[in-house]
Amino acid sequence: MSDHICTPGCTHGITEDNRKDVLEEFDTARRSFLRNTLVGGGAIGLGAMGIGMTPMAHAASGVAGSDPDAPGPRHYYIPATPDTVLWGYFSKVAKPVLEIESGDYVTMETLTHHANDDAERMVKGDPGAEAVFFWDSNRKGVDRRGAGPMDAPIGAGGGAGVHICTGPVRIKGAQPGDILEVRIADVVPRPSGNPNFKGKTFGSNAAANWGFQYGDLLSEPKKREVVTIYEVDATGERNWAQAVYNFRWTPQTDPFGVVHPTIDYPGIPVNHATVSHNENILRDIRIPIRPHFGTIGVAPAEVDMVSSIPPNHTGGNIDNWRIGKGAKIYFPVAVEGANFSVGDPHASQGDSEMCGTAIECSLTGTFQFILHKKADLPGTALAELNYPLLETQDDWVLHGFSYANYLAELGPNAQNDIYSKSSVDLAMRDAFHKMRHFLMTTQNLGEDEAISLMSVAVDFGITQVVDGNWGVHAVLKKSMFPARRS
């Protein structure tokens, strides 16, 4: 990360060669944003809110927008570049790529860390992806990949964290004890940059060594990793994905000469001359798409740098497919400025993310950030909130984990120990505790009332069993609570 922090009017990274492309990209995103912005579960126009379209951030700043001194929320744009992403970790000490006010909007490009599973479809011809995934015998576009040591034999960062996280974004005035509300106004697929695949987007599903199924297979080899490439309509007119082909992972040698027998380091370029494509798979099956962000959150206070893999009380790799367009998610702020990051974009995923991944597919999201100050929380539904709380148009969704705050609970070796200590039982109990508290504090129910309601009307589901700190979510219907007697 550089020391540069973009501000309104910044022209960092703008050249005459890329000015036209940046303008076109911003205009496309703005049209989508104006058409689709959702606040509070319903669409509203920006004009009605007095929102001025202000300069884009970082490499696209200063190209388009209204008077930066105009009142009201601003809209920024952060493209995915080697300077605007953290690969595999959240950090309270990373330099922000953007600083915003509460109420501002930010459109953020996010790249899937699995794009090199098929670089022809997901990297080639896309300048941002090409820069981030660049890797030759001399250097990588993004060297550190994970929160591990820089001299790890497998690669810098050790793969202790895998997701490409765009950010961090600093929210002015955010302090520990505050709550950051993130509204997801829009989510759109990132089109393939390869002219051979115009109008299409692609994603990868890896049945990987960290999946729940690994080592529990019927056919030989009993331990194997299989990558399936899916096609998604980039225009959004077709609401389903289809499989293109799959292949069994074979040992891959990266450009630095390291051999990877398994998928053990993010962004390994797959040499397709070494794998066999099976193209007649999942015939006539349409997978409904529900684009969302698997990894989203703010930086924890316990360590300077934390792996993006296990989720925690400040969010992270929650892997809940409901974190998509129209949703709001609330995070307890743990450090000054919050340091928000987002990544791990998915075209679709089922509850549990059983084999290790979703359809990992690059997306662009537009977010609004609302800061709720600690002093204003008493008496509200956000009082005492110490976990990620999701709100959709119809539901509240609470997230329980095997360890609510594993960094604090497991001690100095928490980032390693978490992988051997998680269970669904622990995550279910945490979800129960959180839902009980939510019902008792926000709906004024007694404990016995809350427990009965949980059993007859709350849906508990397995969010994921592949991220170290396993997750169970609890879904509570808002419709159960019409205006109630005082």
List pLDDT tens digits, range 259-282: 999 999 999 999 999 999 999 999
Of all residues in the chain, the percent with pLDDT exceeding 70 is 85
> Is the pLDDT reported for residue 403 higher than 80?
yes
What does each C-alpha distance from 258 to 24, 153, 265 come to in angstroms? 40, 8, 10
Provide the CB-side half-sphere exposure for 442 (13 A, CA).
18
Task: Output b/e per residue, 30-55; b: 16+ Cβ within 10 A.
Answer: bebbeebbbeeeeeeebeeeebbbbb
DSSP string, 431-451: HHHHHHHHHHHHS---HHHHH
Non-local CB neighbours of 73 within 8 Å, separated by 6+ positions: 49, 50, 51, 52, 101, 103, 104, 105, 368
Span 424-442, average pLDDT: 97
Domain positions in the chain? 16-189+295-344+360-374, 195-288, 394-480
> Is the pLDDT reported for residue 332 higher than 90?
yes
Non-local CB neighbours of 412 within 8 Å, separated by 6+ positions: none
What does each C-alpha distance from 334 to 104, 201, 344, 345, 434 come to in angstroms? 20, 36, 22, 24, 19
Helix (H) or strand (E) holding 27: helix 16-36
Query: Whole-structure pTM over 0.85, yes or no?
Result: yes
DSSP string, 123-164: TTT-HHHHHHH-B-SS-BSS---SSS-TT-TTSTTTTS---E
List pLDDT tens digits, range 92-120: 999 999 999 999 999 999 999 999 999 99
Helix axes 424-442, 447-457, angle to 10 degrees: 120
Confidence of residue 485 (pLDDT cuts 50, 70, 90): low
Task: Give me the chain's average pLDDT, please.
Answer: 89
* pLDDT at residue 235 in the model: 87
* pLDDT at residue 47 in the model: 31
Confidence of residue 256 (pLDDT cuts 50, 70, 90): very high
Of all residues in the chain, the percent with pLDDT exceeding 90 is 83
> Is the pLDDT reported for residue 174 higher than 50?
yes
Q: What CATH number has the domain spanning 394-480? A: 3.10.28.20
* pLDDT at residue 16 in the model: 42
* pLDDT at residue 67 in the model: 58
Rounded Cα–Cα distance for residues 235 and 411 (Å) = 47
Report the amino acid identity of residue 67: D
- Tell how strand 259-260 and strand 252-253 pair up: antiparallel
Rounded Cα–Cα distance for residues 8 and 13 (Å) = 14
* pLDDT at residue 52 in the model: 36
**Rg, the chain, Cα only:** 22
* pLDDT at residue 45 in the model: 30
Sign of CA dihedral 8, 12, 16, 22: negative
* pLDDT at residue 72 in the model: 86
DSSP state of 478: G
> Is the pLDDT reported for residue 253 higher than 50?
yes
Q: Where would I find the H helices in 44-89?
A: 46-49
Q: Where would I find the H helices in 241-399?
A: none
C-beta separation of 415 from 408 below 8 A: no
- For the ranges 14-18, 150-154, 469-473, the lowest mean pLDDT is seen at 14-18
Confidence of residue 33 (pLDDT cuts 50, 70, 90): very low
Span 156-168, average pLDDT: 98
List pLDDT tens digits, range 365-396: 999 999 999 999 998 989 999 999 999 999 99
Confidence of residue 58 (pLDDT cuts 50, 70, 90): very low
> Is the pLDDT reported for residue 42 higher than 70?
no
DSSP state of 429: H
Higher pLDDT, 5 or 161: 161
Phi, psi angles (nearest 5°) of residue 419? -70, -20
* pLDDT at residue 484 in the model: 66
Rounded Cα–Cα distance for residues 367 and 363 (Å) = 13
> Is the pLDDT reported for residue 21 higher than 70?
no
* pLDDT at residue 11 in the model: 37
Q: Cα 319 from chain centroid?
A: 8
28: helix, coil or strand?
helix
118: helix, coil or strand?
helix
Closest CA to 302 of 291, 294, 312: 312
Same fold, 16-189+295-344+360-374 and 394-480: no
Span 130-135, average pLDDT: 98
Query: Which listed CATH number (2.60.120.580, 3.30.420.40, 3.40.309.10, 1.10.10.10) goes with 16-189+295-344+360-374?
Result: 2.60.120.580
Confidence of residue 71 (pLDDT cuts 50, 70, 90): confident
* pLDDT at residue 24 in the model: 55
Phi, psi angles (nearest 5°) of residue 132? -70, -40
> Is the pLDDT reported for residue 162 higher than 90?
yes
